[in-house]
């Protein structure tokens, strides 16, 4: 199906996913396989070229990750990046020098042969280095095509076989012309055509969905988030009214959430949508529970129960559609996205078995930014496409201590003010998440002549690329001031607002 594609072999670099995304930016499909994928599997995928990623390992480690040697005999171009370069040298008979010192940071690359990956790149350009070992002698058939002050062989090539290797990282933004180098490899050296567009993705995926689903019915749980909404809209485009969306109000949603989702899907897309107000059930089960993991379990289990009850009401349902993304399914040796663990509460395994449903995951080949692009292409309003992630357990893990309806109401009001002010200041799209947390702390204040003894709200706003690490956002003081004033004046029961200035790690984004 993806004959015009590039394979990335993952040797454990933190940048592996970035390499795949960079390839896709050229409208060429790419997938990540673990470094030790057997050659038969690679052949079956039929890539036009393979990129060997970096790795935290040294080729000298006793457990250094090595690929199936068959990749060198496939007759397709290879690009080794950092460890991938050393690996190529090692496997093809060159010499790699062990180094105790890491070279880390920007370096000036001097290109000796401005062709192949370096086609159209000026003779001198900045690149990002992050490596220990380095190449002392390229293998036979290779020539040195660039150097830096510290690396006499900063790039090498065996042009006859289409093998290229770079000591630096072309995939990171700190290598300003790295995108061009990768494009040269993908388009010029491997001969890939830029045909993988969101429009073509929509066409092939809807066709495939129609073929798989036939005349049967599909259910899809929607949360108001971008992944589930895009999934639902895509499936709806394929099979129309044979899709029913189920939206469960679990009592710990943000202000106006249920109404917003319903409005968009029912009015804008004319979908079948079943909105269930199950807040009472969830809140009853959450009574007196303070342990964060228990809260997660309770909400996850109850969700499955409610969802199953609703799905059983629809006759002839055979499929369940879910918004699983590519980072959740990569068999990665490097870090997985946060979703790998956080989606565990949506464990639908039992549900599928009990109801004899088959899983549909139409987004399982896409990265988050691609899902957003797809969403825009499908005419989903920006308000949903650009939405911050919202955790499945919702406000329950932002109310520290026991979750009650009253406390939910207090937090909902404070949270709505945070979001309103952040949006008004034009900051929303620049942040990964912004929200309020209700603390189990009371503090003394004065209002008029009265002494008050009320709740404390913490405001959290972070920058992040994937939720794995995060930095607290330097929100302008006047915006913070407005948020604080409004919360204290407008939200009854709160008399103090604090701003969370912790980064992840060592803190987490959520408080529980
Ligand atoms: P932490 O708090 O672990 O959060 O730094 C990282 C990202 O994951 C989200 N998150 C969750 N999402 N269920 C979810 O669906 C959860 O239980 C959960 N816990 C954290 C969090 O909002 C952030 O984006």
pLDDT for 431-484, tens place per residue?
Answer: 999 999 999 999 999 988 899 999 999 999 999 988 888 999 999 999 999 999
Kind of pairing between the strands at 494-499 and 450-463: parallel
Ligand 1 mutation target, pool 328, 338, 469, 500, most atoms within 8 A of CB: 338
Pick the residue with more confidence: 342 or 120?
Answer: 120
Instruction: Give the sign of the dihedral formed by CA 31, CA 35, CA 36, CA 40.
Output: positive
Sorted by where each starts, the structural domains of the chain and their CATH numbers stand as: 5-189 (3.40.50.880), 198-385 (3.40.50.620), 398-499 (3.30.300.10)
Per-residue model confidence (pLDDT) at position 346: 57
Per-residue model confidence (pLDDT) at position 309: 97
- pLDDT above 70 as % of the chain: 96
> Ligand 1: distance of its center to the CA of 135 in Å?
42
462 bridge partner residues: 433, 472
Atom of ligand 1 nearest to the CA of 512: 2
Per-residue model confidence (pLDDT) at position 334: 54
Starting at the edge strand found earlier in the chain, the sheet holding 217-222 runs 272-277, 243-249, 217-222, 317-321, 358-360
Segment 78-93 mean pLDDT: 97
Q: How many residues are there in the chain?
A: 512
Rounded to the nearest 10 degrees, what angle do helices 226-239 and 368-377 cross at? 50
* DSSP three-state, residue 89: helix
Cα–Cα distance for residue pair 179/63, rounded to 1 Å: 32
Q: Whose CA is closest to 250, among 311, 295, 312?
A: 295
- Tokens for 271, please give them: 């979908």
Active site residues: 82, 169, 171
Segment 377-403 mean pLDDT: 95
pLDDT for 306-349, tens place per residue?
Answer: 999 999 999 999 999 999 998 888 865 654 443 334 444 456 88
Segment 65-76 mean pLDDT: 97
Instruction: Give the sign of the dihedral formed by CA 112, CA 113, CA 116, CA 122.
Output: positive
Binding site membership of 200 for ligand 1 (Cβ less than 6 Å): no
Cα–Cα distance for residue pair 186/18, rounded to 1 Å: 15
Instruction: Record the pTM.
Output: 0.87
- Tokens for 411, please give them: 């937090």
pLDDT exceeds 50 at position 280: yes
pLDDT for 190-201, tens place per residue?
Answer: 999 999 999 999
């Amino acid at each position: 199906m993806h004959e015009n594609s590039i394979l990335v072999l993952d040797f454990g670099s933190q940048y592996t996913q970035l390499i795949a995304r960079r390839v896709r930016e050229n409208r060429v499909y790419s997938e990540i396989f673990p470094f030790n994928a057997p050659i038969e599997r690679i052949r079956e995928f039929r890539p036009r070229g393979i990129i060997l990623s970096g790795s935290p390992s040294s080729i000298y480690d006793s457990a250094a990750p090595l690929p199936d040697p068959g990749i060198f005999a496939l007759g397709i171009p290879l690009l080794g990046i950092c460890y991938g370069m050393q690996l190529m040298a090692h496997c093809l008979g060159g010499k790699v020098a062990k180094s105790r010192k890491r070279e880390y940071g920007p370096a000036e690359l001097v290109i000796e042969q401005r062709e192949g990956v370096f086609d159209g790149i000026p003779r001198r350009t900045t690149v990002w280095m992050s490596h220990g070992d380095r190449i002392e002698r390229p293998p036979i058939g290779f020539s040195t095509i660039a150097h830096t002050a510290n690396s006499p062989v900063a790039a090498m090539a065996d042009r006859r076989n289409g093998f290229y290797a770079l000591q630096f990282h072309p995939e990171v933004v700190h290598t300003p012309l790295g995108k061009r180098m990768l494009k040269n490899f993908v388009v010029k050296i491997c001969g890939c055509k830029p045909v993988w567009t969101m429009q073509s993705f929509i066409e092939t995926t809807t066709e495939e969905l129609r073929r798989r689903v036939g005349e049967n019915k599909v259910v899809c749980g929607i949360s108001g988030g971008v992944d589930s909404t895009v999934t639902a809209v895509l499936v709806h485009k394929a099979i129309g009214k044979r899709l029913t969306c189920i939206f469960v109000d679990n009592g710990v949603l943000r202000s106006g959430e249920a109404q917003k989702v319903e409005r968009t899907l029912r009015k804008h897309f004319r979908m079948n949508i079943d909105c269930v107000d199950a807040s009472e059930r969830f809140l009853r089960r959450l009574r007196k529970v303070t342990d964060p993991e228990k809260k997660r379990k309770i909400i996850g289990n109850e969700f499955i129960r409610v969802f199953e009850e609703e799905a059983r009401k629809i006759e002839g349902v055979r499929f369940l559609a879910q918004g699983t993304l590519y980072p959740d399914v990569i068999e990665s040796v490097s870090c997985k996205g946060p979703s790998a663990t956080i989606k565990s509460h949506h464990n639908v395994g039992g549900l599928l078995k009990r109801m004899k449903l088959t899983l549909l995951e139409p987004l399982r080949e896409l990265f988050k930014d691609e899902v957003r692009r797809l969403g825009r292409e499908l005419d989903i309003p920006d308000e949903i496409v650009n939405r911050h992630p919202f955790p499945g357990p919702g406000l329950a893990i932002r109310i520290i201590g026991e979750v009650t309806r009253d406390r939910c109401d207090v937090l909902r009001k404070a949270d709505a003010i945070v979001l309103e002010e952040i949006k008004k200041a034009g900051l929303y799209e620049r942040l990964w998440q912004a929200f309020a947390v209700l603390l189990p702390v009371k503090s003394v204040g004065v209002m008029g002549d009265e002494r008050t003894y009320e709740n404390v709200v913490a405001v959290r706003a972070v920058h992040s690329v994937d939720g794995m690490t995060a930095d607290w956002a330097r929100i302008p003081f006047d915006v913070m001031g407005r948020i604080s004033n409004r919360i204290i004046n407008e939200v009854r029961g709160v008399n103090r607002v604090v701003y969370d200035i912790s980064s992840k790690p060592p803190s987490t984004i959520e408080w529980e």
